[in-house]
Amino acid sequence: MNKQELIDAVATQAGTNKGSTEETVNAVLATISKEVAAGNAVQLIGFGTFGSGERAARTGRNPSTGATIEIAAAKTVKFTAGKSFKDAVNQS
């Protein structure tokens, strides 16, 4: 399912028009992105938690040449599924 299919499904299920549903979905995604980028966790009870983490700098290897390279530290995005979500996935 892509973003437009998600918007269509939410609009159908909520009984709203696609334009306002698209604005709402975009606002939710933008808010989650902004909060996680600021270092805050976004917890949706029953669905999951979006958060950020740190990946330390490390030494890697170029697969084509075998040369050793330094990989810089980076921030990462984490998602931990909630119990209800995990249970729903495991039932199917």
- Give the number of other CB atoms < 10 A from CB of residue 81: 14
User: Which range of residues forms the domain containing residue 58?
Assistant: 39-92
Q: How far is CA 66 from CA 51, 56, 60, 63, 79, in A?
A: 34, 21, 9, 5, 33
Question: 42-44 and 58-61 as β-strands: parallel, antiparallel, unpaired?
Answer: unpaired
- Looking at residue 73, which CATH number applies to its domain? 4.10.520.10
pTM of the model: 0.79
Same domain, 2 and 32: yes
69 within 8 A of 79, measured Cβ to Cβ: no
Residue 71 — pLDDT band, cuts 50, 70, 90? very high
pLDDT at 92: 67
pLDDT tens digit string along 14-64? 999 999 999 999 999 999 999 999 999 999 999 999 999 999 999 999 999
Q: 79-91 pLDDT, tens per residue? A: 999 999 999 999 9
58 and 82 fall within a common domain: yes
Looking at the chain, list the stretches that DSSP marks H as alpha helix, in order from N- to C-terminal side.
Answer: 3-14, 18-37, 83-91
